[in-house]
Every structure is written in structure tokens, then in C-alpha cells.
Chains A and B, each alone.
Chain A
Amino acid sequence: MTLLEFDSVTKVYSVRGAGQIKALDDVSFTLESGQTIGVVGQSGSGKSTIAKILTQLETATSGEVRLDGRPIPRHGSGLRRYRQQLRMVFQDPFASLNPYHSVRHHIERPLRLDQVVPRDELKAEVRRLLERVQLPISAADRRPHELSGGQRQRVAIARALASRPKILVADEPVSMLDVSIRLGVLNLLSDLQREEGLGVLYITHDLATARHFSNEIIVLNQGRIVERGTADDVILRPSHPYTQELRAASPDPEKFFASISDAEGGAR
């Protein structure tokens, strides 16, 4: 079922001295329940502009975004209800949590604001959400600085899940985490996508994890979609020169050492 339609969206920024910059140029895609779309491209390609328009931190210059077939309401309670259904997980788990407040506060806030559960069930719901993201219950009374980067990112995911959204937009959710815990956080996102039927937009510059965790991949360059398809098609058989360039630039030890032993074999 089509959950989200991003329909011919163009976003133009006016920059003093530089004139007009087209951050997104006629970009269209659809996201279904239980699907992960990877959005890849280099810095400035427009990846994060998509996230900003989806969350309505920016409005599109032209084009339309529809959730369940309905355009995003511009303001008021309609916009709030829309935002309950589409939540963000940000890149920096150190900056996205408030150091003054406990983990419980972070998770309870959307529960209260969106009146997800009755007041007397708040505690149980926080417990359920922490379990969902594989954090111990004791984490509820900790503050962000007492947690590791990976644990903080799990708190951010629990907070995003609190309003029971249909869509998660994850903008480089693991690039600031240690390598050994990146997979854990990505596996959690992929479990949620499968088990709760979430639509996930995974924005990243890392082609290897995009391939591993996405059903489809969209390649953005200078605000335009230059290539799209199933994850394996785009990464293994890139047809656009820009995608080929991105792949060639990404570390790939497998291919690297294979080509070395080929060269040595040929020389013998």
C-alpha cells in the first residue's frame, strides 16, 4: 500500500550573492509500508532537503507530498497529526537529546503531547518502548550523558516510535557511532520496519549499508534523481556515471584485493 508520495517536488533556495539554488529538482518517489528506501548522494546533493520537506521544516517551492493520499496540512492540528505519523531520527545523538532531562522525560513527552495512552499507562508505555529498542528499564532514569552514543540513538528511536508513526526518516543515523554498534542500530531499524510495517527513509552517504538495509535505492545528484532501482541493481550494476563514480570512490576491500591478486597472477 502506498503510504507516502513525494510528487514532483522542487525546492529553490534564494541565497544572497549566489542567486537561486535548486536544492531539489522535480523529485518524485513513493514509500510503502514495510519498505526501506535508501537515499544516497554526496554532500549538497539534496538528501537532507528531502527530510526537511517531509517534516515540513521547509515547504516545497512546487510539487506536493501526500500521506495516505492526502496533502500535508500547512498548519494547525492537521500538521501536528501529520508529524505524529512521520518521525525523524537525527544524525547526532549527542545534540538531539536534551542534557537536562531524563530518558523518561524524552519518551514521555510525545506520549503526553499526542495523548497516545491514558496518563496512568505512561509508565508501562515507556517500559514497552525501551524494551522495543533493547534498552534496560533502568535507562529510563538516566540522563543522556550517562549513556553511550549507541544507547542515545536507541533513545532517539524510542522517542520517534512513541507517537506510533507510520514512517521513520533516518538522516545518517549511525555515521557518528562506533563501527561495532552501527549494525546493531541499523538492525533495530530494520526489525521495526519488518515487524511494525514502518516505512523507512534511510538517508546516507554510505553505499554499503544502504545496499544492506534498503529495498530500493535512490541516487541524488545536484537535486535530481539520477538513478533508482532495487538495492542490488543500483549498487552492483550502476548505469548512471554518477552512481558509478560514487561506487568507485567507496572503499571495497573485496574488489581491491581481488584485483591485486589478479594483477599478480597475470604477471607470473
Chain B
Amino acid sequence: MSNALLSVQNFSVIYDVDPPVQAVTKIDFELRRGEILGLAGESGCGKTTLAYGIQRLLKAPAVITSGSVVFHDASGDDIDISGLGVEDMRQFRWDKISMVFQGAMNALNPVATIGSQLEDVFEVHRPNMSKAQRREAVVELLDIVKVGGQRRRSFPHELSGGMRQRVMIAMALALRPQLMVMDEPTTALDVLVQREILRQISDLRDEFGFSVIFITHDLPLLLEISDRIAIMREGEIVELATAERIWNNPQDEYTKKLLSSFPRLTGEKGLVKR
């Protein structure tokens, strides 16, 4: 079993509008098994397009124009994601790669209990499970993310923003995927709740060993939680290095500029200088 989980090569996406927009340009990177890879950049840099693109979640007018994405499954099989048929892709998604979306408050169905929404995952992907087994699995998931199994009959509006985001994480965790893609998972939450959720993501990663692609524009936060960070600008990765290296010894001018847009919390008053 190799150390890599995902190999992305020469990956390009355009938005086929008039004139066409080159959103992601010839990106190459390798995601390692069990690592948290931060994806940082400003609005419009292509970070979300890239993260959605590798799971084939983009819809028209987005078109993948080149490249390959190979998933190195724990079983030893190499799966070429771009070559999967419709049904194989449906089974692949969520089973191998799951996703935590930004607006937890909007991502859940307001008129269904959180328990029934979690059960849906099993109903679709694990059709052989009995009702009782599904319920048991849901209670276990809610316990793992510390919402508590007794809350399975709650509706989304009865939970706080942080709790709803935990439910989304439980849902992403349901099938024990090997990769979780998280798109600004804590941006809408306040600092204290954000910190709890980050701690939990990191604990779960240690326990279950999945990899994480963590998208955000909050570079200070990313520096603390990522193993490696990719800095994106105008559809390209301008720098990819360990968090420590990005902080202590950034190479690219844009990385330096991004770092220096943050005032320092402690130390001498002023901006981060690199």
C-alpha cells in the first residue's frame, strides 16, 4: 500500500461561458494517506472548483478539460475517478470520499429529523442493513461527534450552528471514507465553537486515519491544523509545503503577501512580515 491516497495530474477546469474562464490550470499534487492538506487562497482562486472537480461534483458550465485523478484505495486498487461510470461513481462518492459543506445551517433538511437524514446515508449506500442496525449506527455516529445519540429526533432548527456542523461531520464520517473534503467548515461559527470543531476533526482523523482536504481563506487557522498547505492563486498552486515551512520560510511572493494581510495576535503589534 503506497503512501499516497490521491494523485492529481495535469488537472484543468474551465467555465465554458463567453469568454471562457480558466478556473483551474494544470494542477499536479499528491495527497498522502492520513494527512490534513490545507487549501488556501482568495475568492475566485479556484480552490473550491479544484476540490469539487476531483470528485466530479462540478456541473455545467464547468468542464474538466484535462488531467487525471487517481484514488489509491486502501484495498490496493487504483481507481481512476474520471473513468468511472455513473453507477460506479454514485457508489464511490461518500463511500470513499465525503464532503462537509460550508453552510451547515442550510445543508440539512429543515423538515426532517437529523436521525432520519443520517439514516438516509445507510439506506442508499448500505441497503442490506436492517432498520435497527441503521438506527444503532446513527446513535453511534452522533455519540462520536459528541452531539449525543439521544438528539437523533431533533430537527435542525433545534440545534445550534456548532451542533449542526457536527451532524454534517457525522454524516461525512458515516461510511468511514478515506478522504473528507471540508469547504470552509467553520467559517460561519464563532471562535470558541470553531476551536472545538477543529479539535474534533483532528481527533477523528487520528482515530480513523482518513485524509482531509481543508479549504479556507483563514491562513492563520490553516497553519495550526494542517500538515501541508497548498496556496492557490488564479487557478494554480503557487506553493505547496509543510505548514511550518509556509510559516517560517515561504518561497512565493504571493504566499508572503497573503501572510502579511493578517495582523499579529500576540508579539509585537503589526502585521506578519515575511
A residues neighboring B (CB under 8 Å): 42-43, 149, 178-180, 182-183, 205, 207-209, 211-213, 232, 235-236, 245-257, 260
- The residues of A that contact B43 with a CB separation of less than 8 Å are 149, 178
Q: Contact: B42 with A179, CB < 8 Å?
A: yes
Quick one: which of A249, A254, A260 contacts B192, CB cutoff 8 A? A249
Contacts of A232 in B (CB 8 A): 269
**Are B192 and A246 neighbours in the complex by a CB distance under 8 Å?**
yes
**Given the complex, which residues of B lie within 8 Å of A208, measured CB to CB?**
220, 262-265
Q: Which of B15-58 contact A (CB under 8 A)?
A: 42-43
Task: Contact check, A253 vs B220: say whether CB atoms are below 8 A apart.
Answer: yes
A selection of 11 A-B contacts at a CB cut-off of 8 Å is A43-B193, A178-B42, A180-B257, A207-B265, A247-B265, A251-B221, A253-B224, A253-B247, A254-B264, A254-B272, A255-B266
Q: Which residues of A contact B42 (CB under 8 A)?
A: 178-180
Instruction: Give the residue name and chain of the B residue nearest to A206 (CB).
Output: B191
Contact in complex: B217, A43 (CB < 8 Å)? no
Query: B89 at interface (Cβ–Cβ under 8 A)?
Result: no
Give chain B's interface residue range (CB within 8 Å of chain A): 20 to 34
B residues 240-274 touching A (CB-CB < 8 Å): 244, 247-248, 257-258, 261-267, 269-272
Q: Is the interface of A mostly helix, strand, loop or mixed?
A: helix
Asked whether any CB of chain A lies closer than 8 Å to the CB of B218, the reply is yes
A245 touches B261 (CB 8 A): no
The answer, yes or no, to whether B219 is at the interface (CB within 8 Å) is yes
A250 engages B191 (CB within 8 Å):
yes
List the A side residues contacting B270 at CB < 8 Å: 212
In the bound assembly, the distance between CA atoms of A234 and B272 in angstroms comes to 20
State whether B224 touches A260 (Cβ < 8 A).
no
Q: Which of A43, A179, A251 contacts B261 (CB 8 A)?
A: A179
Name the B residues within 8 Å of A254 (CB-CB).
Answer: 264-267, 272
- How close is B38's CB to chain A, nearest CB, in angstroms? 12
Contact present for B269 and A211 (CB under 8 Å) = yes
